[in-house]
Structure 1
């Protein structure tokens, strides 16, 4: 288990974390400390506990907003995936229709060619297709 020494609101804290997470925990502690410094600059000395609570509420608010954004993005992704499936189905149907039209045209051309060949006089040596 790793440990980090961090300064938050002018006080030293020894914090435990999983091995390899020390740098991340240090960055989080610095973020909280900077928020408290910013709040202190805005509101003056209103007490460490109050500043810490205000910083925690700010983080919680940001977390809540990010969670809402993630939910909206997940909904957007799901809608786009549904639209992709619909578009793929339409493209497949359009492709099938084009293939069917070409096959139908080819069959008509073959039928016309057969009729023309039957209508030519026998022994002329002329034929189509």
Structure 2
């Protein structure tokens, strides 16, 4: 297990993480520290604990919004998949109908051709 040190609001915190996750954890800590600095810029020095709680709420708000958007996208994806299935079913039905119509037309043409051929043959006088 790896050990790293992150800095949040000017204070160093030693943390453990899985091997290979060091850069990810450092990035998350930097992002969280950015929210703290953003809040300090907006509200001034209002206390470490309050800043941390507010930054945590900001993170939770963003997570909640992303979960909502993800839910909408999952719904849209499911609808698009269903539309694709419906379109493929419709296309298959259209192909079957077209195939039947072509077969019917071909049979009719063969019948007409046979009738023409028979009418053009010389009649047996006997």
TM-score when normalising by structure 1? 0.92
Deviation at 1:122, TM superposition (A): 3.2
Alignment coverage as a number of residue pairs: 123
CA distances 1:68-120 after superposition (whole Å, capped 9, x unpaired): 11111101000000000000011111111111111111100000111111222
Query: 1:84 aligns to what?
Result: 84
4+ residue segments displaced more than 4 Å: none
Distance 1:5 1:85 in 2: 52
Structure 1 unaligned spans of 5+: 124-129
Query: 2:29 aligns to what?
Result: 29
- In structure 2, the residue corresponding to 1:6 is in which secondary structure? strand
- In structure 1, the residue corresponding to 2:13 is in which secondary structure? strand
TM-score when normalising by structure 2? 0.94
Structure 2 unaligned spans of 5+: none
RMSD: 1.1
